[in-house]
Structure 1
Amino acid sequence: MRVEFDEPKCVAAGQCVMVAPDVFDQRDEDGVAIVLDAEPGPELHDEVREAAAVCPAAAIRLVEP
């Protein structure tokens, strides 16, 4: 799985960080999300899928083989 993130779409809601904190974080200055791990291990896939599903801006796209 590869995580693609459309930063301009991000509304800084932080849902992704709450669901998958090992993969996402937020910048201190504006709260916009950042991807910590663009290719998370299989043990994190369910969390990342949920983070993409709950993102209010649909800024997270998952590329799965």
Structure 2
Amino acid sequence: MALLITDKCINCDMCDPECPNDAISMGDAIYEIDPARCTECKGHYEKPTCQSVCPINNCIIPDPAHIETEDVLLEKFVQLQGLA
């Protein structure tokens, strides 16, 4: 599933440059994750880098509105990288 940045976000800008899929951008008030580009870093890293660098506990969580299997996330990675 894609990830979601909650309203706990303090706009520290730690997550945006770490995203290998350019899925994170500044929204109206806080950073947002584009679910069409988020692969939870599958294909790049073992765990999501945005969660690893975020200084706020539980600020970046699984997005219940965008549930995806690991296979779907890996397929999305392949498409985003132009490997398909």
Mind listing any 5+ residue stretches in structure 2 that lack a counterpart? Answer: 70-84
Report how many aligned residue pairs link the two structures.
61
Please tell me the root mean square deviation across aligned C-alpha atoms, in Å. 3.0
Give the number of the structure with larger relative contact order, counting CA–CA contacts within 8 Å between residues 6 or more apart.
1
Q: TM-score w.r.t. structure 2 length?
A: 0.52
Moved over 6 A (4+): none
Q: TM-score w.r.t. structure 1 length?
A: 0.63
Which structure features the higher share of helix residues? 1
Q: Could you tell me the percent identity over the aligned residues?
A: 20
Mind listing any 5+ residue stretches in structure 1 that lack a counterpart? Answer: none
2:22 counterpart residue number: 22
Mapping for residues 23-42 of structure 1, pairs under 5 Å: 23-27=23-27, 30=29, 32-37=30-35, 40-41=38-39, 42=42
Quick check: 2:4–2:32 contact (8 Å CA) kept in 1?
no
